[in-house]
Amino acid sequence: MRYVSTRGAAPVLDFRGATLAGLASDGGLYVPETWPTLSTDEIAALAGLSYADTAVRIMLPFVGDCLTEDELRGLCHAAYGRFSHVAVTPLVQLDHDQWLLELFHGPTLAFKDVALQLLGLLFERFLTGTDKRLTIIGATSGDTGSAAIDAVAGREGVDIFMLHPVGRVSEVQRRQMTTVLAPNVHNIAIEGDFDTAQALVKTMFATPALADTFALSAVNSINWARLMAQVVYYFYAAVRLGGPGKPVAFSVPTGNFGDVFAGYVASRMGLPIAKLVVATNVNDILHRALTNGDYSRGLVEQTATPSMDIQVSSNFERLLFDLGGRDGKAQAAQMAGFDADGAMRLTNAQQQGAAGLFGSERVDGDDMAMAMRWAHEKAGEIVDPHTAIGLAAARRQSLPDVPIVTLATAHPAKFVDAVERATGARPTLPARVGDLFEREERYVTLPATLAAVGDYVAAHARPSR
Residue positions annotated with a catalytic role:
112
What stretch of H or E contains 336?
helix 328-341
Instruction: Return the residue of 164, 386, 395, 411 that touches ligand PLP, per CB under 6 A.
Output: 386
Would you say how long the chain is, in residues?
465
Q: Is 391 helix (H, G, I), strand (E, B) or coil?
A: helix
The angle subtended at Cα 428 by Cα 426 and Cα 434, nearest 5°, is 155
Give the x/- contact pattern for ligand PLP in 121-160, rule: CB under 6 A.
----------------------x-----------------
Task: CB nearer to ligand PLP: give 253 or 324.
Answer: 253
Choice from 20, 72, 410, 433 touching ligand PLP (CB under 6 A): 410
3-class SS shares of the chain: helix, strand, coil, % to 5: 45, 15, 35
- In b/e form, how buried is each residue of 145-159, taking b as 16+ CB within 10 angstroms? bbbbbbbbbebebbb
**Site track 203-242 with ligand PLP (rule: CB under 6 A), x = hit:** ----------------------------------------
5 bridge partner residues: 30
Cα(70)–Cα(248) distance, rounded to whole angstroms? 31
User: From the list 113, 150, 159, 259, which residue makes contact with ligand PLP (rule: CB under 6 A)?
Assistant: 259
- Number of residues interacting with ligand PLP: please give it, by CB under 6 A: 16
Q: Nearer Cβ to ligand PLP, position 178 or 409?
A: 409
H or E element, residue 203: helix 194-205
- Which residues, 6+ apart, have CB-to-CB distance to 199 below 8 Å? none
Give the three-class secondary structure for 136. strand
CB atoms within 10 A of CB 421: 13
**Residue 11: CB minimum distance to ligand PLP, A:** 26
- Binding ligand PLP (rule: CB under 6 A), the pick from 51, 80, 194, 257 is 257
Nearer to ligand PLP, 109 or 216 (CB): 109
Smaller CB separation from ligand PLP, 141 or 334: 141
Tell me the window of 26-34, 39-47, 108-116, 121-129 that interacts with ligand PLP (CB under 6 A). Answer: 108-116
**Nearest distance from C-beta of residue 223 to ligand PLP, angstroms:** 12
We find the least distance from the C-beta atom of residue 449 to ligand PLP, in angstroms, to be 28
Q: Does 256 bind ligand PLP (CB under 6 A)?
A: yes
Rank residues 376 and 386 by Cβ distance to ligand PLP and give the closer one. Answer: 386
Question: Could you say which of 253, 263, 359, 412 contacts ligand PLP (CB under 6 A)?
Answer: 253
Nearer to ligand PLP, 258 or 353 (CB): 258
Contact stretch for ligand PLP (CB under 6 A) within 10-18, 49-57, 256-264, 457-465:
256-264
Residue 411 sits in the site that holds ligand PLP (CB under 6 A): no
From CA 351, how far away is CA 346, in angstroms rounded? Answer: 6
98-102 and 134-139 as β-strands: parallel, antiparallel, unpaired? unpaired
Q: How far apart are CA 271 and CA 263, in angstroms?
A: 9
Give whichever of 124 and 259 is closer to ligand PLP, judged by the CB atom.
259
| Cβ 282 vs Cβ 333: under 8 Å | no
281 interacts with ligand PLP by CB under 6 A: no
272, 248 Cβ separation under 8 angstroms: yes
Which stretch in 64-72, 77-85, 89-97, 249-257 sits in contact with ligand PLP by CB under 6 A?
249-257
Nearest to 211 by CA among 226, 201, 225, 220: 201
Query: What is the three-class DSSP state of 315?
Result: coil
Is residue 198 within the footprint of ligand PLP (CB under 6 A)? no
How far is the C-alpha of 31 from the C-alpha of 321, rounded, in Å? 9
| Residue 282 binds to ligand PLP (criterion: CB under 6 A) | no
d(CA 97, CA 93): 8
Restricted to residues 289-348, the positions that interact with ligand PLP (CB under 6 A) are 307-308
User: Shortest Cβ distance from residue 308 to ligand PLP (Å)?
Assistant: 5
CA dist., res. 385 & res. 416, Å (int):
10
**Binding-site string for ligand PLP from residue 390 to residue 409, where x marks contact by CB under 6 A and - marks none:** -------------------x
CB of 108 to ligand PLP, least distance (A): 10
**CB atoms < 10 A from the CB of 8, how many?**
17
Map residue 431 onto helix, strand or coil: helix
Residue closer to ligand PLP, measured from CB, 255 or 324: 255
E-assigned strand segments in 239-382: 248-253, 273-280, 294-296, 343-345, 358-362
Question: Where does this chain bind ligand PLP (CB under 6 A)?
Answer: 110-112, 143, 253-259, 307-308, 386, 409-410
